[in-house]
């Protein structure tokens, strides 16, 4: 194995428009590559540190949340075709916004109940409108705490953008999963993940939400201005998806380091267990999560530019057609990305995993994600 092409590519990124990045690769449970380039804080010349630099993981949180939830599935706490209303009764009757055929819209009852499968597979009808009327009203009423279950109960009132199962749409579905986990366990999502994943794996710098004691350890969250052609440092240095100090966002709430997320991904690549040690989830469960869950019609609406060849499983992209994707990765390779530039790749067939992150909104994933994957496989014998 020779990872020079990968370190060179990371140096290219920081010479291009990325302020700083770190990456770790594991093969068969052992670390084989660790490299950082650029800065966590450009102005103060503080370098990226994969072990100590904390970052908002944003949608990488979806992998953590879905693995946490599926450990409850393994215990028979729910099945995928359970209606969400079994846990959140407010979701029994939901409504959908439709065209009225005359340039306006009408609100109609949903064709069926939303199921847990719909939440995992992003076919629920939820989008990422965090300021829909009922949700915004609840956020204002419950601020600054905004407990997850109460907010997700309120979200049920807002009309969805399509009938359950009609198509795929990226949205707040996994935040609802987080609320279901809290109802089932009687504990906050972050506590459940801590008990089932973080503590067993020794992830001491990983949590849902940012403890203000560790604010100084956070990488600056930059933004790239296409208009100006430069990196900017916004005044806003928080996570827009964390609505309050009691809101554990299932879709975007995790804060962690590259080293800790890389280790978590390596455990998934080994079928859910540390070699010769702790098991956090079953291999068969992960195999299920990485199966394509979308119909052809649903898959056609998953049209992001960096995802050709992929379908969507239970909370993860999953490689379905390597030829279409121009990808060297095998069928079943899975993972996801994050709004500030994180990228996770899990390949159980080869026991291979990669975790890469930078901390910049307008994250350039259309460019970085497929190239990181392709360069990685070119480095493996």
Closest Cα partner for 189 from 310, 89, 64, 100? 64
For domain 4-58+236-242+254-378, the CATH architecture is 3-Layer(aba) Sandwich (3.40)
Quick: pLDDT tens for 296-338: 999 999 999 999 999 999 999 999 999 999 999 999 999 999 9
Question: Is residue 99's pLDDT more than 90?
Answer: no
pLDDT band, very low/low/confident/very high, at 359 (cuts 50, 70, 90) = very high
Distance (Å, rounded) from C-alpha 381 to C-alpha 374?
13
Cβ–Cβ contacts within 10 Å for residue 174, how many?
28
Q: First-to-last CA distance in the chain?
A: 5
**Region 203-207: what's the mean pLDDT?**
98
What tokens were used for 196?
């089932």
Closest Cα partner for 298 from 310, 285, 286, 288? 310
Distance (Å, rounded) from C-alpha 172 to C-alpha 83?
17
Neighbouring C-alpha atoms within 13 Å toward the C-beta of 4: 1
What angle do helix axes 173-185 and 61-74 make, rounded to 10 degrees?
A: 40
Q: Return the pLDDT at 249.
A: 98
pLDDT band, very low/low/confident/very high, at 381 (cuts 50, 70, 90) = confident
**Cβ partners under 8 Å of residue 167, min gap 6:** 123, 297, 298, 300, 301
Question: Is residue 100's pLDDT more than 90?
Answer: no
On whether the CB atoms of residues 337 and 59 are closer than 8 A, the answer is: yes
Distance (Å, rounded) from C-alpha 72 to C-alpha 322?
32
- E strands, the chain, where? 20-27, 30-41, 46-47, 55-56, 95-99, 105-109, 207-208, 222-225, 230-232, 254-256, 310-312, 317-319, 334-337, 343-347, 352-358, 360-361
Q: Return the pLDDT at 101.
A: 80
Quick: pLDDT tens for 19-43: 999 999 999 999 999 999 999 999 9
Distance (Å, rounded) from C-alpha 370 to C-alpha 363?
13
Quick: pLDDT tens for 107-165: 999 999 999 999 999 999 999 999 999 999 999 999 999 999 999 999 999 999 999 99
Question: Is residue 90's pLDDT more than 90?
Answer: yes
Distance (Å, rounded) from C-alpha 367 to C-alpha 344?
15
On whether the CB atoms of residues 202 and 280 are closer than 8 A, the answer is: no
Q: Return the pLDDT at 366.
A: 96
Domain range summary for the chain, segments of one domain joined by + = 4-58+236-242+254-378, 72-185
pTM of the model as a whole: 0.97
Which residue is it, tokens 């055929």? Answer: 101
Q: Which of 46-60, 95-109, 225-239, 303-317 has the lowest mean pLDDT?
A: 95-109
pLDDT band, very low/low/confident/very high, at 104 (cuts 50, 70, 90) = confident
């Amino acid at each position: 194995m020779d990872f020079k092409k990968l370190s060179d590519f990371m140096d290219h990124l920081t010479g291009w428009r990325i302020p700083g990045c770190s990456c770790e690769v594991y093969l068969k449970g052992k670390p084989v590559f660790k490299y950082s380039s650029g800065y966590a804080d450009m102005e103060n010349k503080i370098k990226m540190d994969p072990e100590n630099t904390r970052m908002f993981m944003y949608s990488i949180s979806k992998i953590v949340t879905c693995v946490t939830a599926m450990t409850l599935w393994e215990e028979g706490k729910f099945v995928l075709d359970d209606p969400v209303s079994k846990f959140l009764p407010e979701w029994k009757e939901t409504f959908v916004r439709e065209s009225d055929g005359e340039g306006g819209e009408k609100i109609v009852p949903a064709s069926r109940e939303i199921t847990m499968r719909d939440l995992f597979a992003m076919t629920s009808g939820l989008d990422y409108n965090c300021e829909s009327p009922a949700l915004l009203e609840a956020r204002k009423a419950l601020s600054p705490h905004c407990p997850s279950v109460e907010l997700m109960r309120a979200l049920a009132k807002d009309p969805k953008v399509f009938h359950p199962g009609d198509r795929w749409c990226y949205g707040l579905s996994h935040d609802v999963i987080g609320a279901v986990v809290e109802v089932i366990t009687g504990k906050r999502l972050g506590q459940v993940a801590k008990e089932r994943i973080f503590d067993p794996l020794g992830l001491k710098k990983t949590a849902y939400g940012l403890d203000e004691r560790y604010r100084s350890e956070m990488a600056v969250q930059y933004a790239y201005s296409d208009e100006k052609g430069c990196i900017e440092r916004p005044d806003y240095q928080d996570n827009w998806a964390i609505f309050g100090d009691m809101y554990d966002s299932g879709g975007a709430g995790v804060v962690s380091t590259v080293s800790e997320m890389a280790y978590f991904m390596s455990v998934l690549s080994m079928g859910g267990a540390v070699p010769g040690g702790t098991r956090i989830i079953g291999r068969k469960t992960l195999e299920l999560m990485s199966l394509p869950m979308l119909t052809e019609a649903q898959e056609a609406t998953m049209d992001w530019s960096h995802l050709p060849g992929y379908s969507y499983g239970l909370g993860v992209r999953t490689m379905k057609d390597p030829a279409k994707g121009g990808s060297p990765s095998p069928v079943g390779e899975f993972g996801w990305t994050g709004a500030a530039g994180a990228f996770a790749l899990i390949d159980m067939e080869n026991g291979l995993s990669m975790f890469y992150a930078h901390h910049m909104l307008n994250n350039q994933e259309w460019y970085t994600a497929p190239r990181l994957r392709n360069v990685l496989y070119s480095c493996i014998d």
